[in-house]
Amino acid sequence: MSVLSGKKIILGISGGIAAYKTAALVRLFIKAGAHVQVIMTPASKDFVTPLTLSTLSKNPVHSTFYNEDDENAQWNNHVELALWADMMIIAPATANTLSKMVNGNCDNLLIATYLSAKCAVYFAPAMDLDMYKHPSTIASFSALKQFGNVIIPAESGELASGLSGEGRMAEPENIIAFLEADLSSKLPLKGKKILITAGPTYEAIDPVRFIGNHSSGKMGFDIANCAAKFGAEVILISGPSHYGVTNDAIKLVKVVSAQEMYDACHHYYNDVDVAIAAAAVADYRPKTVAVQKIKKSDESFILELEKTNDILASLGKIKKNQFLIGFALETENEIENAKLKIQKKNLDLIVLNSLQDEGAGFAKPTNKITFIDKNFNIEPMELKAKEEVATDILNKIINHYDA
C-alpha cells in the first residue's frame, strides 16, 4: 500500500508545456489511493483540458474564483480548498508561478490557495535550460525552501526549445516515487519493528471441536494497520480471524493454538523494538487431545485442562530494550488487577478493557480503554472506534521514543 493512500492532494498546474504530463500524474495519484483536487491557472488550459483532469480525478477542476458565465454560481473558496488538503503539489511550476509564490502575487486561484495552505507543499519546476539556471529562478528556489516548501528536482533531457539540459519537469512516476520516499522518511515510526498479536486461539479437543473465545482480531489488525501507516515494519501474529492485511509493511503470521502463538512470538521477539499483545490467548487447553471425534455417549463429560504458556509473562522475563504493551480484559477490580499484571509481567504499558463498559469488548467496532503505565499513571479514554483506539496506542509508542 502506498503512503499516498488516503491522502487528500491538491495538484496545482501552471501554464507550461509540461502540463500535458499531469494527466498521467493524476492517474497515478488515484491509483495510489489518493483523493485529488486539481487547480489550474488560466494559462495551463492551453496545454491540457479541464475535462481530462476532472475525468481522471473524479472531481471538478477549479480554475477561477467564480464562474463568470453563471451569475448564481458559488465562488471557489481557496481557504476551504487549502484546509482540505494534506499536501499540495505544484507541477509544473513555471518561473512565473514560482515568482508569484515567493512574492505573494495573488492574481489567480492557485496562488490564493497556496498562500492559504497549512499543509506540506511540493513544487516541480519546469522551464527551459537558461531560465532554470537564471539567478532569479535560483533565488526563487532558495526562498521557497526557506518557506518550508520542498522542491522535486527537474530532470535533464530534451526541452521544448529543442535544447537539451536541465529543466524538464520530473516524470510522473518519478514525482510519485519522490513523494513516497519523502513522506516515508518523515513517518514517526520509520525504522521501528513492531510485533503484534491478534485474535483468539483455538485449543483442540478432538479433530472437530475446540475451546476458543469471541475475539474477532479487529483490535490487533487495526493496531497493525496504524503502525504500518506510521512507518513501522510490522509482524502480526494472528489466531483464526477473517481479517486480512493489504499493507506490504505487515508480515502476517497465522497460528491456531496458544503454543503456536508462543513459539512465533519467541521466534521474532529478540529483533523487535515494540511488542503489543492484543490477542485473546487461551489460559487453558485440553490435557489430552482425542485422535478421533469424541462420540456422544454419557450424560456428562469431563474435560481435563492444563495451563498454557503465558506468552506475555515470558516476553517480560526476557525483555531487553523492547517497549512491551499488554492488554487486560477485566470484569471486576479492573484497575487493581491491571496494576498487578504490569508488575507480574514486567510491562511498560497496559491497555485495560472492561466488559462493564458498553461498547467495549469482543467483536465490536468500538472500544473503551484505560491506559496504565509502569509508574501506575492512569489515563481513561472515551469510547472510540477501534481504529482511533489503535492510533492512541501508537501515539503512546511515538511519545515513548520522542521522550
Which are the catalytic amino acids?
Answer: 213
CB proximity list for 98: less than 8 A, separation 6 or greater: 123, 125, 137, 140, 141, 144
- Collapse the DSSP code of 196 into the 3-class scheme (helix H, G, I; strand E, B; otherwise coil) and give the result: strand
Q: What are φ and ψ of residue 104, in 5° steps?
A: 70, 30
How many whole angstroms from its chain centre is CA 172?
Answer: 23
CB proximity list for 65: less than 8 A, separation 6 or greater: 75, 76, 78, 109, 112
Three cell numbers at 335? 484497575
Three cell numbers at 168? 524538464
Measured between alpha carbons, how far is 386 from 368 in angstroms, rounded to an integer?
9
275-314 burial: b if 16+ Cβ within 10 Å, else e: bbbbbbbbeebbeeeeeeeeeeeeeeeeeeeeebebbbee
